[in-house]
């Protein structure tokens, strides 16, 4: 198997926009957790389908990476996503999932901040 310099540069560029790649693909989850398995496989497949010459694609990839990282590191959020996807696993088979997870993370984090600010004592 020959890897060209261009291939090596492509991989480096992609990984620059996926700083959590190793942590995500090596995430340990329960054997029977089909949703997490599908999410990680979706992520693994989509990462290398991006065009590294298109900056807007790479910015989307960065958002996907941080969203999936949030999924694997936040147990409560992971549970909520699993509840959302339990009735709609087909979403993971298209690029629509990228927008779903990015928007869901953003909404979740905004709600979390609002709840924290509202619960502060003055």
Per-residue pLDDT band at 118 (split at 50, 70, 90): very low
Q: Where are the alpha helices (DSSP H) in 5-74?
A: 5-16, 21-25, 34-47, 55-73
* Span 49-92, pLDDT tens digits: 887 788 888 899 999 999 999 999 999 999 999 998 888 877 77
Q: How far is CA 64 from CA 17, 58, 89, in A?
A: 9, 10, 18
CA–CA separation, 69 and 90 (whole Å)? 21
Domain ranges of the chain: 5-119
The Cβ of residue 25 has, within 10 Å, a number of other Cβ atoms equal to 15
Mean pLDDT of the chain: 84
Which pTM value belongs to this model?
0.82
């Amino acid at each position: 198997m020959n890897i060209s310099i261009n291939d090596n540069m492509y991989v480096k560029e992609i990984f620059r926009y996926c700083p959590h790649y190793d942590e995500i693909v090596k995430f340990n989850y329960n054997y029977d957790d089909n949703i997490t398995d599908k999410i990680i496989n979706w992520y693994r497949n989509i990462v290398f389908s991006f065009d590294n010459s298109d900056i807007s694609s790479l910015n989307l990839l960065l958002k996907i990476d941080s969203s999936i990282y949030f999924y694997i590191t936040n147990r409560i959020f992971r549970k909520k996503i699993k509840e959302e996807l339990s009735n709609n696993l087909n979403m993971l088979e298209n690029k629509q999932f990228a927008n779903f997870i990015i928007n869901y993370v953003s909404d979740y984090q905004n709600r979390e901040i609002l709840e924290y600010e509202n619960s502060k004592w003055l």
